[in-house]
Amino acid sequence: MAELSFAALPDHALKRVRLGGLEAIYHAPSGITHLLAEPVPDLLDALGTIGAGRFATPRELLGQMAEHFDIQGDDPAEPPELVLGERLAELAALGLVESRRQA
């Protein structure tokens, strides 16, 4: 888990529409629309800032996001990069981000 890194999909793969507190995200390759709440849109934004196809570890992403956000998990004892990695792995399972093992 710890050695996974993640990257945004190319721009054309996702169509995103804000719906108040939610975001509807159409995943073009599968034709599935996901309704997602915070923090998912912000995670996708952060990965998008790094650039499509450019892989970052949860720790690197956390450093980038910490410029804009206070990051908070369920349990203060859990390392935030671990929690962030879990969220990103869930997004990868949905196909909304790419993941790969660190080379």
Cα separation, 27 vs 9, whole angstroms: 10
Q: How far is the CB of 61 from other proteins (least distance, A)?
A: 11
94 binds other proteins (CB under 8 A): yes
In Å, what is the CA distance from 42 to each residue of 101, 102, 103?
Answer: 23, 23, 26
Q: How far is the CB of 96 from other proteins (least distance, A)?
A: 10
Cβ proximity to other proteins, 1 vs 74, nearer residue = 74
49 binds other proteins (CB under 8 A): yes
The answer to whether 55 and 101 have CB atoms below 8 angstroms apart is no
DSSP letter, residue 52: B
- Of residues 1, 20, 72, 103, which one binds other proteins by CB under 8 A? 72
**Residue 102: closest CA among 59, 64, 56, 65:** 56
Site residues for other proteins per CB under 8 A: 18, 27, 29-43, 45, 48-49, 65, 67-75, 80, 83-84, 86-87, 90, 93-95, 98-101
